[in-house]
Amino acid sequence: NAGVMQNPRHLVRRRGQEARLRCSPMKGHSHVYWYRQLPEEGLKFMVYLQKENIIDESGMPKERFSAEFPKEGPSILRIQQVVRGDSAAYFCASSPPGYRAVELFFGEGSRLTVL
Amino acid sequence: GQQLNQSPQSMFIQEGEDVSMNCTSSSIFNTWLWYKQDPGEGPVLLIALYKAGELTSNGRLTAQFGITRKDSFLNISASIPSDVGIYFCAGQYNTDKLIFGTGTRLQVFP
């Protein structure tokens, strides 16, 4: 049973370019979350999605960041016109439906470096 | 944004020693979870707690959901080198997003 799959594992972008990070949840999981982690810090919530729905995007920056979880295919976190401050590890997590929906299973992360 | 406070921030211990760390919040939570993160990897769920006062074990790990619902504790007994990593607590109120603590960095010396 494959875990949460994220790609790419590492991404280098120049300032002003776009970054797209992909996440495929675990089989049977219907909830997807994105968290950001700066070096030596904890995980900061960004957005919570279900298929074709954004449930909570209170942690997303108001500009340049967007997320989607289409009916088919992986969830995408998109960062437009990247700046150096966007350099971080971005983790996707998924959870099962029901009372255990709080038990998040994380992918290995996508590490974005902005030059 | 809101974060949970973990202490200690870091620990350096001898192999075989027991470890205790805790997590506190100014607001109550319905659920507490503990995760471990190895360098370059994603966090891995260790223990989930759903009721105030609950005490749950997973091998050498034991975690408790504080009675006030504002804190949680994690103990590791007889530490081994592979316990090295960063331990995060996380809390949830109702169906809100999961909030993570600041982390406790554990180093185990042989």
Instruction: Write the pLDDT tens digit of every residue in B13-35.
Output: 999 999 999 999 988 999 999 99
Q: Are B17 and B83 in contact (CB under 8 A)?
A: no
Mutate to test the interface with A, among B10, B23, B36, B97 (most CBs of A within 10 A): B97
Contact call for A42 and B3, based on CB within 8 A:
yes
Whether A1 has a pLDDT exceeding 70, the answer reads: no
List residues in chain B touching A: CB distance below 8 A: 1, 3, 31, 33, 35, 40-45, 48, 88, 90, 92, 95-103
Whether A16 has a pLDDT exceeding 60, the answer reads: yes
pLDDT band at A2 (very low <50, low <70, confident <90, very high): confident
Q: What is the mean pLDDT of chain A?
A: 93
User: For residue B51, what pLDDT is reported?
Assistant: 94
Contact call for A104 and B31, based on CB within 8 A:
no
**Average pLDDT of the residues in A64-76:** 95
Whether A41 has a pLDDT exceeding 90, the answer reads: no
Q: Are A18 and A36 in contact (CB under 8 A)?
A: no
CB atoms within 10 A of CB B85: 20
Q: What are phi and psi of A33, to 5 degrees?
A: -125, 150
Judged by average pLDDT, the poorest of A7-11, A83-87, B35-39, B93-97 is: B93-97
pLDDT band at B2 (very low <50, low <70, confident <90, very high): low
If you compute the radius of gyration of chain A from its CA atoms, what whole number of angstroms results? 13
Contact call for A107 and B42, based on CB within 8 A:
yes
pLDDT band at A115 (very low <50, low <70, confident <90, very high): very high
Cβ neighbours of A104 in B, within 8 Å: 33, 45, 90, 98
User: For residue B4, what pLDDT is reported?
Assistant: 87
**Average pLDDT of the residues in A36-48:** 91
B50: left (phi over 0), alpha (psi -120 to 50) or beta: alpha
Which residue of chain A comes nearest to B6, CA vs CA?
A42
Contact call for B101 and A42, based on CB within 8 A:
yes
User: For residue A106, what pLDDT is reported?
Assistant: 96
CA distance A101 to B89: 17
